[in-house]
Amino acid sequence: MSLAADFGVTLTQHVLGNQAHHPGARGRFSALLTQIGVAGKLISAQVRRAGLIEVWGATGETNVQGETVQKLDRIANDTFVEVLRRSGCVAAMASEEEDALIEVEPENAGDYVVAFDPLDGSSNIDVSVSIGTIFAIYPRLHPDRVGLDDILRPGRDMVGAGYIVYGSATVLVYSAGRTVDSFTLDPSSGEFFLTRRAIRMPAATKYLSINECNAPYWQPWVQPTLDAIKGRNDDEKRRVSARHIGSLVADFHRNLLTGGLFMYPVDRRTGRGKLRLLYECNPLAFLAEIAGGGASWGGGAILDVDPEGLHDRSGLIIGPAPDVALAERQYHEYRSR
């Protein structure tokens, strides 16, 4: 058995070695990424023991999204908040599980503001299917105060983003704006080691990830987009296949590495998407664009959207750039009719 080429470069070494190249980042950015890694390890340990300890099932509460809170949702949220609160790197946080902005007491406050989904893919927790944590990092706007304006900003203002997927291995993927790199948690040493450098998303769509049971609720541009992609299959070759886990973070991770288009379009009954702009769409859009892919809400880039509220929802089409552009063309064509 041979070790991966970069086995030996830890997450901390990597972020420290690259801190001169973190565009827009300032202050203790490397420390913040390291602390996010610590939170990821703690959450991973809980996820790995789910079923052995009493963390399966619901807490009995409903979150700000109106969804049932799972025990692991709560544990992951509290772990992430407490690790970052004590890190000295963060002035405020916004969580998918909390209704208001979480302000850090001034003596512990740092240069950054972080939005996160502590445990994405909640419906997969109790069935031991991949779930993950997603985070977005913004520079704090004002040295003397912190407020909603620090977080209600277009995704283009991010200086870093990433996720930790608790799958067959625990993998942390992040970007500070230049490259997207991934690290695998070695359970025996408790360290994240660099396992993929400068990830590029393939330009061809190999997988389609969409909940097709939502077809009755799609706007009219969605089906023709899917038909165009599926139409690439013929007797000679199957070029596209379906893969949909129902954990966005895990679906995105597979699609990033292998070339897949994930779609959760706006629901025509409600006129809004399901996924949260700040906690899910923006950070993954940041990674997709840096890896050479794209991300759209249907009519334009996710990263250009100006959020109105902490829990805004959005349509999301994310994956290889040519097919994100195809979806946008279909969207505009149908809108102009």
How many residues belong to the site for ligand AHM (CB under 6 A)?
Answer: 12
Q: Could you tell me the smallest distance in angstroms from the CB atom of residue 89 to Mg ion?
A: 23
Tokens of 99: 């209704």
d(CA 304, CA 193) in angstroms, rounded, equals: 33
Of residues 82-111, those binding ligand AHM (CB under 6 A): 96
- How much is the CA Rg of the chain, to the nearest whole Å? 19
Q: How many CA atoms lie within 13 A of 307 on its CB side?
A: 25
Would you state the structure tokens that stand for residue 22, as one six-digit string? 């973190």
Q: Which is nearer to ligand AHM, 117 or 323 (CB)?
A: 117
Phi, psi of 208 (to 5 degrees): -110, 130
Which of ligand AHM, Mg ion, none does residue 211 bind (CB under 5 to 8 Å by kind)? ligand AHM
By CB under 6 A, name the one of 40, 110, 121, 259 that touches ligand AHM: 121
**Which residues are paired to 137 by β-bridges?**
114, 160
Indicate the Cα dihedral angle 273, 277, 280, 281, nearest 10°. Answer: 80
Q: Which stretch binds ligand AHM (CB under 6 A): 114-122, 172-180, 285-293, 300-308?
A: 114-122
Choice from 111, 117, 323, 328 touching ligand AHM (CB under 6 A): 117
Instruction: List the one residue from 16, 64, 67, 202 that touches ligand AHM (CB under 6 A).
Output: 67
d(CA 44, CA 164): 9
Least distance to ligand AHM from the beta carbon of 114, Å?
A: 17
Of residues 43-62, which lie at the interface with ligand AHM (CB under 6 A)?
none
Reduce the DSSP state of residue 249 to 3 states and report it.
helix
Other beta carbons less than 10 A from residue 237's beta carbon: 8
Q: Which of 33, 248, 256, 295 binds ligand AHM (CB under 6 A)?
A: 248
Q: How many CA atoms lie within 13 A of 216 on its CB side?
A: 1
Stretch in the footprint of Mg ion (CB under 5 A) among 35-43, 69-77, 116-124, 168-176: 116-124
State the minimum distance, in angstroms, from the CB of residue 248 to ligand AHM: 3
Q: Which listed residue (73, 97, 111, 120) binds Mg ion by CB under 5 A?
A: 120
Q: Which of 117, 150, 191, 328 binds Mg ion (CB under 5 A)?
A: 117
State which of positions 268-287 bind ligand AHM (CB under 6 A).
274
Own/partner contacts of 305-310, CB < 8 Å, gap of 24 or more, are 305/154, 305/155, 305/277, 306/152, 306/153, 306/154, 307/152, 307/153, 307/154, 307/277, 307/278, 308/152, 309/152, 310/94, 310/99, 310/100, 310/101, 310/148, 310/151, 310/152, 310/278
Nearer to ligand AHM, 194 or 316 (CB): 316
The nearest distance, CB 18 to ligand AHM, in angstroms, is 29
Partner whose footprint covers residue 122, from ligand AHM, Mg ion, none (CB < 5 to 8 Å by kind)? ligand AHM
Identify the residue among 247, 255, 314, 330 touching ligand AHM (CB under 6 A). Answer: 247
Interface with ligand AHM (CB under 6 A): 67, 96, 117, 120-122, 211, 246-248, 264, 274
